Amino acid sequence: MTLKHTLDARRYLVLAVAAGVIAVALFLVATIGQVQAVIDLIAEQSQETAKLKSLEGKVVQLQAVTTPTIASQSELVNLLLPSQKPLLELLNTLNTVSTSAQISLDSFELSPGELSSQSAQVAEVPNVSGTGVLSVEFIASGTLGQLNQFMSTLEQTTPLITITELSLRSGLEQKAKIKTLEELLAEPYRAQLTIESAYFTQTVDAALDTQLPTISADQERILSDLAVFTTTITPPQTEIIGGGLQDLFGIQLPELEQK
């Protein structure tokens, strides 16, 4: 009986030890998983806290720059350097400035490229990275004073316009006669001009955690200088005026007549 009791006691002891080892192992597995989850959660919380502080700092910076002056400067920059080909804006400016200077414009030659989409490429000369150039050639007729007023105003009006070529000749037949200064100033002239208007072609991307750029002293001076520019507002074109099913080229298609 003593031997049997001893064997039973040892068996129970082994089972108890095995059960204890299994319990400890299960506890450790569960605890390690929970500890790792807590560590990951703390690390993620630290990252989110840093991002939140960054966003709060950006909100403070945005509140500091949302002034009427900054807003007006932003609108002026967008008018000076639009993000699409400024064909309509350029023609509107030419019409407004020429009317003000009392001169006439004719013989227009445009190099706009494809106008079907904003991303269409323009045949352009090398220019500043991130910008495209729309080139226009035309002839302006008027006195020297009118032409000077036209060109001076043109380069101080939106969109950003640069006169790249200029040739001037008298609008009257030349005669072998010495003219006074008053006669020269009153004489009509024809100026053949080539102008270029720049537009922005880059895509602007910004993440929420990106720091706001700082404006340098030179940039602030340039923004102040832009205040002298005259703005011309071109209404957006939202519809096609005219058109219809007219046979403009004399093709006489039956389906057009049926419609």
Domain with residue 191: its CATH number is 3.30.70.60
Contact partners, residue 120, CB within 8 Å, separation at least 6? 85, 113, 114
First and final C-alpha spacing in the chain: 115
Q: Determine the pLDDT at residue 171.
A: 67
* pLDDT tens for each residue of 116-131: 434 334 444 445 567 8
2 & 20 share domain: yes
Local confidence band at 148 (pLDDT 50, 70, 90 cut-offs): very high
Q: Is 237 inside a domain boundary?
A: no
Cα separation values, 225 from 18, 57, 77, 116, 239, Å: 86, 30, 12, 35, 36
Q: Give the distance from CA 105 to its chain's centroid.
A: 31
61 & 81 share domain: no
Average pLDDT, the chain: 75
Helices and strands in the chain, H and E counts = 7, 4
Contact partners, residue 196, CB within 8 Å, separation at least 6? 133, 134, 135, 136, 161, 162, 164
pLDDT, average across residues 194-217: 78
Asked if residue 111 lies in contact with residue 134, where contact means CB atoms within 8 angstroms, the answer is yes
Q: Determine the pLDDT at residue 61.
A: 72
pLDDT above 70 coverage of the chain, percent? 70
60 & 140 share domain: no
143 & 198 share domain: yes
Rounded-to-integer distance, Cα 133 and Cα 173, Å:
36
Q: Is 238 inside a domain boundary?
A: no
11 & 113 share domain: no
Residue 166 has pLDDT above 50, yes or no: yes
pLDDT, average across residues 145-154: 92
Rounded-to-integer distance, Cα 15 and Cα 189, Å:
115
Q: Is 242 inside a domain boundary?
A: no
Cα separation values, 129 from 44, 125, 223, Å: 40, 12, 20
Asked if residue 196 lies in contact with residue 123, where contact means CB atoms within 8 angstroms, the answer is no
More confident residue, 23 or 111: 23
More confident residue, 105 or 179: 105
For 42, list phi and psi in degrees, rounded to 5.
-65, -40
Q: Which domain holds residue 55?
A: 1-66
Asked if residue 186 lies in contact with residue 142, where contact means CB atoms within 8 angstroms, the answer is no
pLDDT above 90 coverage of the chain, percent? 14
135 & 196 share domain: yes
Q: Is 24 inside a domain boundary?
A: yes
